[in-house]
Amino acid sequence: MKKKINWNTITVTVLVVLGLVLGIKITRGIIVQHEEKIKQHEELVSLVKEETPKIKRYVHKQDQRNAIKTITIEYQKTHMTPMYEIEIEGYINNDKKLGFEVDADTETEGVKLSLDGFGCSMKMQKLIGFE
């Protein structure tokens, strides 16, 4: 007597195996992509740390009233915008309400970090006379 092949079982088994393989590949891709983002952020933070004195001088230049006593850069908030511009966040005088943001580009004419934009909170604007 011949055994009858159960096509439903074979089909389900093949689909389950394909699903598992596809799921593993997608999961691995997500993990690799996440690890790459972490690595890029670490490189960005390293660059900003290296250029901290330059950034602090730039922030001090915005101060028309010599009101800035200390500058704190929040390295973990540093990020790359969709337009590939670096946004560096921080605050002055140990007061997070006196926040600022410096915009920068990388590798401009041999310069590691080219600072090209500044914005700050209303409270900071009043303190430093920024218009």
pLDDT of 83 reads 87
pLDDT for 65 equals 94
Answer CATH for 1-131 from 2.40.50.100, 3.40.50.2300, 3.90.226.10, 3.10.450.130:
3.10.450.130
Alpha carbon distance 33, 9 (integer Å): 36
Contact criterion met (CB below 8 Å) for 127 and 98: yes
- For every one of its 131 residues, what pLDDT tens digit does the chain have, with 9 covering 90 and above? 567 778 888 898 889 999 999 999 998 889 989 899 999 999 999 999 999 999 999 999 999 999 999 999 999 999 999 888 999 999 999 999 999 999 998 766 667 888 989 999 999 999 999 77
